Amino acid sequence: MKKLLSLFLCLCFFIPVTVRAEAPLELTAKSALLMEASTGTILYEKNSHDALPPASVTKIMTLLLVMEALDSGQYTLDDMVPVSPLAASMGGSQVYLEENEQLSVHDMIKAVAVASGNDAAVALAEFTAGSHEGFVNKMNERAKQLGMNDTHFVNCNGLDIDGHVTSAHDIAVMSKELMKHPKIFEYTTIWMDSLRDGAFGLVNTNKLVRFYQGATGLKTGSTSVAGFCISATAKRDGMDLIAVVMGSPTSKERFADATKMLDYGFANYGICSSLVSEEELAPITLKKGIKDNVSIGMADGFSLLMEKSKIANIEKKITLPDYVNAPIHNGHKVGEVEFFSEGQSVGKCDIVAKEDIKAETPWGMFKKIGSFFLYGN
């Protein structure tokens, strides 16, 4: 028999619903999108699936593949990256790499993330995949895996070339994926730095890093064909937002549009990672185990996004069994909690065991039975 706990919660703070609202925003960009990162909820969009040239915002995918290579152990931040003739020949934004020069992976990432170095992007691409062409193939494969259906990459740095396109929606998707690698923020939040033992100065192309509260990155881009683009990320009160702008007429308007979307998101939405107290998730009875109960809690990674403007009473229903049987493992689902706003379900979260407990051995069971008969407990 299961026990149902229907509990009513009056919140002294706001938790927005995961429903897109009509945002009263006037943007100059051709295309734009605002996404909450933990849930992937789209909060605002304008022509978000139009396939457009992304300029150096392309490098978000380049950095994603580099971070994944680092995580897999393919190379380390201290490994040295050689500069090929192709990498040294790149125009546009660059850190003026010379053929046969070597910089560490760490410095190359910094050159890409801070100064948007096209030469450094190609050097990293060749170091990761063996060739620029091979790396671009990996970029397109990864885009397909992420469901980026508006995207086709032709290079790793975003220099104008026919057929190199993506959308505001797809940029938000790959930005969200890159944000799963917290190490990247150590680079994208740099305002000023240097390379070559201080001989070459770097200033971040993303002015929001210095001037917008909570800004965490992520990447700018501009060419004569693409116009001015950005994937702007920021974090406040535990909520990460991604504001994508494509095809702005000027750099100033690009940052203004991104700021408008971020301001709108933070003003109207909020995120909550837990709505259930420890008292409501007391240990539950464990049978056939070396312990008599097991600690439980909310599954990791839970978050609930809702609109602040909807001052609503949130109801929650916790469903738990009377007992569970050993063995049980940390993370094993034992129940769930569902949240409701205005009678509609707005989210669920698994309730899981928070410890590993082995099953009792036959000898242990025998001793427990004997103790019961001898002492009554």
Q: Which CATH number goes with the domain that contains 331?
A: 2.60.410.10
| 226 lies in the same domain as 301 | no
| 194 lies in the same domain as 250 | yes
In three-state secondary structure terms, 350 is strand
Per-residue model confidence (pLDDT) at position 347: 84
Residue 26 located in a structural domain: no
In three-state secondary structure terms, 17 is coil
Per-residue model confidence (pLDDT) at position 187: 98
CA atoms within 13 A on the CB side of 286: 23
| 225 lies in the same domain as 356 | no
Provide the pLDDT confidence category of residue 122 given band limits of 50, 70 and 90.
very high
Q: Is the pLDDT of residue 10 over 80?
A: no
Bridge pairing between strands 239-248 and 31-36: antiparallel
Contact criterion met (CB below 8 Å) for 219 and 57: yes
Choose among 315, 281, 280: nearest CA to 7: 315
| 283 lies in the same domain as 243 | no
Show which residues are catalytic: 56, 59, 116
| 218 lies in the same domain as 297 | no
Determine the Cα–Cα distance for residues 74 and 106; give it in Å rounded to an integer: 14
Determine the Cα–Cα distance for residues 31 and 148; give it in Å rounded to an integer: 16
Sign of CA dihedral 91, 93, 98, 103: negative
| 237 lies in the same domain as 348 | no
Residue 14 located in a structural domain: no
Determine the Cα–Cα distance for residues 159 and 59; give it in Å rounded to an integer: 10
Per-residue model confidence (pLDDT) at position 84: 98
Determine the Cα–Cα distance for residues 104 and 319; give it in Å rounded to an integer: 53
Query: Residues 6 or more apart from 305 whose CB is under 8 A from it?
Result: 15, 16, 17, 18, 36, 38, 39, 41, 239, 269, 270, 271
Contact criterion met (CB below 8 Å) for 316 and 339: yes
CA distances (Å), origin 168, targets 22, 189, 247, 326: 18, 22, 10, 49
Q: Is the pLDDT of residue 370 over 50?
A: yes
Residue 104 located in a structural domain: yes
Contact criterion met (CB below 8 Å) for 270 and 309: no
Average pLDDT value for residue range 96-122: 98
Question: Which one of 253, 270, 287 terminates a domain?
Answer: 270
Residue 188 located in a structural domain: yes
Q: Is 135 left (phi over 0), alpha (psi -120 to 50) or beta?
A: alpha
Per-residue model confidence (pLDDT) at position 272: 74
Residue 106 located in a structural domain: yes
The arrangement of strands across the sheet holding 31-36 comes to 42-46, 31-36, 239-248, 227-236, 215-223
CA distances (Å), origin 272, targets 125, 135, 164, 215, 265: 38, 38, 38, 20, 15
Residue 23 located in a structural domain: no
| 263 lies in the same domain as 286 | no
Determine the Cα–Cα distance for residues 17 and 288; give it in Å rounded to an integer: 42
| 59 lies in the same domain as 167 | yes
Average pLDDT value for residue range 309-315: 65
Q: Is the pLDDT of residue 132 over 90?
A: yes
Residue 10 located in a structural domain: no
Structural domain that includes position 239: 31-270
- In the predicted model, what is the mean pLDDT of the chain? 89
Provide the pLDDT confidence category of residue 310 given band limits of 50, 70 and 90.
low
